[in-house]
Every structure is written in C-alpha cells, then in structure tokens.
Amino acid sequence: MRTLTIRGEKKRIPPYPHHKNFVYRANLFFTANHLLGWFMVNGPRKALRRMWIQKRYGFSVPLNLLIDPTSACNLNCLGCWAADYGKTSELSYDKLDEILTEAWHLGIYDIVMSGGEPLMRKADILRLCEKHKELSFALFTNGTLIDDSFADEIARLGNLNIFVSIEGFREKTDFRRGKGTFDKATAAMDLLKSRDIGFGFSVCYHALNYEEVCSDAFLDFLLEKGAWMGWMFIYMPIGSDADSSLCLNANQRTYVREKLGSYRTRHRFTLIDFANLGHKAFGCVAAGNEFAHINAHGDLEPCAFFHYSDTNLHDKTLKEALASPFFRHFRKHKPLSENPHRPCPIMDVPEKLVPIIHHEGVLSTHLHHPETAEALASKTRPLAEGWKIKADELFRDMPEKEKRKFRRLARFIIYRH
C-alpha cells in the first residue's frame, strides 16, 4: 500500500488519477535520485508507453502539460505577468477537449491548469474532469472562487487537485493580491480540508516576503490548514515592465534553499522549490522534457516563465506542436550547465537565452510588454553571476559519484530527443 507522511501521520494513497496520488507522484519525482525512481513516477506501464511514443514520433513527450484555460482573473495582483497575455484570451471548451484527448494518446497523463484564474472557467473545468476521467488534473488558483458546491464536486470527481496561491500571512498576501484575499484563500483551504481533499499551496517568494514564507510559523500554519504539499516559485522579472527589485540575491536564495530544505527533512513534507531543486529534476524540464505550457492564446511555450513560442495550438495539433523546431532547438542546448544547481536559462544561465530564443519563427508571447532575449538576460545576468558562486560551492561539495550519476541520468532521461 502506498503511503505519504502528512503532519506526522501516514496517509493511504489511492490509485491514479486520484488527487492524493498526484501529490504522491510529485513527491516521488523530486526525491528520485536514480533511474528506477524516475521510471516509477507514473508507473512502469505508463512510463514504457510514453517512451515508446517518443521513439515512434521522434520528439520528447512531456510528463506534465500546463494549460491556461483563460487569462481572465477576478484579482489584480501587483507584478502579475499573466495579465500581459490579455484579459480576454481563452481556449474554448472544444479546443481544451481536443488537446486533452490528444494528450492521452501521446502518453501525457497529468494536466495542470493556471491562468489568469482558471476557476473563471469553473463549469468547463469540472466538465473536462468528468469527461477525461483517465487523466489527472490539478490547478493553481487564488482560492477566492472555491465554495461548498465546488468542493463537493472535487471530492466526488476525485481526479482534480487544487493548489491555493498565498503570499504569506494576511499583510503580505493582501498587499499583493488585495484586501480580504488572505481570508478567502484560507477559508477555501478549510472547505477542502473538511472534504479530506489532498490540496496544496503555491507561493511566489520574493525580496519582500521570502523570510516569512520560509518560516516554520507560516509553513506550520499551512500544514494545520490541511495542505498536503507546497509549490515554491522564485520571483522572475518577466516582461519589460517587471520590478527587478523583487528578485532575490544569492544570499537570499541560499537562505530559502536552506530553510525549505530543513523543513522538508524535519517534517517529511513535500515542498517543491523550483529554483533550488533542479538537481532533483535532472536539470531544466522545459520544452517537452517533462514540461510544456500552452497559454490562453494557444501559444506553446517551453514553460510558464519562458514567454517565447513559434507554434500555436489553433493552427496545429498537439503532436505537431510538440515537434516544433523551437522545442527541438531548445533541447539541443541542454544540458544548460554541467552544474545541476544551475538549471534555469532565465535565472541561472542567461547567456544561453539569446542563442535559444534567436531561432526562426520565435516571437515573444508577452502581448503588452514583450521583451527581447537580450533585455531579459541583462536583468538576470547579475543575479546569475552571484548565484554561480554559491552553486559552484554546492557542486564542489557533491560526492563525485553523485556528479557522475547526475550527468548520466540527465542525458538519458532529458536530453535524448
């Protein structure tokens, strides 16, 4: 029987595609340090099928497909780049249904939704979860649109997980997201906990809140609220109008890494820190290597933070889109660094941004504030230079056996296509 430790108690994990199973597999992916662990994330049958499909079609099939059903949102958060896609962009129900149907046939079993606020399309999302019961769904939401009836539907369906976004305690959350948002988000958590739903939380940490969101007090609070896992995303200055003062310097990023790592170990709690767990994911997962993003305009992007594309799902099938020249070009640049603690082309190795993005047909998908590769790299280069010193220290401390294992597994798992 599969179990996961939550608040010091072993919880039984139902079979795929249950929402608790999503948490279990996310934990497995980011703790795997050998080939068998990676292979077992979705089970041997699904893994073998996915590998066979990749070999048959000759391109990489992502483990997770992130889709924005809409760019509309009921909040107006400070520094939110999602609004730059345009508040009126959305993918129709028929288009979403088409994408999900093809995703299953391609061996993609995990669908994650963001936005905008995906629950602006609440009825369509429930309808899609009902129709595609063979898929596992999850969505990132501000939580303000979750009510009793929606929580009941999540419990009934079983294949939809929820990640409630929060920025810290009341003052920090309401500062960025608007007065009263903290209370609505935590009330949503109470509703989900009351139905025994294995939900999670999502945090964007930046220079103004990183100490609070990494504190034992805050993480203990979320555990008590019923969270089964947490996603921690570092702030990235995406878009020409982004506030770079919110970016963390190397010392602050190191602080986050150590605090979250300590808490994760002490409580055996699934905390996924994207900026600092690249060595667990075998490097950058973008451009079809475990991850791909479809925005509300239909553009296929390497990841949710990499706003460049040469392909739109309104013009091509998902299979055709995943075989795009840009995705192939992106993957040819991997590994982006021989140091697994420097996996990201935006924040860690911005010198790779220009050659990656400068490819025929690639355009910025930032509708209102597009920026060139050179402009984005100029913002993150000083941060990357500072982090390189810390990352090199971490790399030097890795046992030689671990270094060799990373290189071997990274090339086998991620860089084959």
Query: Tell me: the pLDDT tens digits for 82-128?
Result: 555 456 689 999 999 999 999 999 999 999 999 899 999 999 999 99
pLDDT of residue 367: 72
Q: Check pLDDT > 80 for residue 22.
A: yes
Query: Tell me: the pLDDT tens digits for 204-214?
Result: 999 999 999 99
- pTM of the prediction? 0.94
pLDDT of residue 415: 44
pLDDT of residue 44: 80
| Strands 3-6 and 9-12, bridge-based pairing | antiparallel
pLDDT of residue 35: 57
Report, as an integer, the average pLDDT of 159-170.
Answer: 97
Distances (CA, A) of 189 to 146, 148, 336, 360, 368: 9, 11, 38, 46, 34
pLDDT of residue 413: 58
Residue 149, φ and ψ in degrees, nearest 5: -65, -35
Query: Could you tell me which residue, 75 or 362, shows the higher pLDDT?
Result: 362
Which residue is associated with the tokens 């555990």?
A: 223
Closest CA to 87 of 305, 237, 297, 236: 297
Mean pLDDT for all residues in the chain? 91
* Cβ neighbours for 179, distance < 8 A, ≥ 6 positions apart: none
Cis, peptide link before residue 107, omega less than 30° from 0:
no
C-alpha 232/C-alpha 273 separation (Å) is 5
Helix axes 93-105, 122-131, angle to 10 degrees: 30
Task: Spell out where 278-356 has E strands.
Answer: 291-294, 300-301, 308-309
Structural tokens at position 186: 């935590």
Which region among 186-200, 272-286, 301-315 has the lowest average model confidence (pLDDT)?
272-286
Q: Check pLDDT > 80 for residue 354.
A: yes
Report, as an integer, the average pLDDT of 373-381.
Answer: 95
Closest CA to 275 of 412, 383, 188, 173: 383
pLDDT of residue 212: 98
Measure the CA dihedral 300/301/307/312, to 10°.
-10
Closest CA to 306 of 345, 248, 253, 355: 345
C-alpha 254/C-alpha 50 separation (Å) is 36
Query: Tell me: the pLDDT tens digits for 206-248?
Result: 999 999 999 999 999 999 999 999 999 999 998 888 899 999 9
Closest CA to 340 of 291, 272, 411, 287: 411
Query: Could you tell me which residue, 40 or 76, shows the higher pLDDT?
Result: 76
Percentage of the chain exceeding pLDDT 70: 93
Burial grade of 270 (CB within 10 A; 0-12, 13-18, 19 or more): buried
Q: If you ran DSSP here, which 8-state letter would residue 121 be given?
A: G
**Spatial contact of 357 and 373, defined as CB atoms under 8 Å apart:** yes
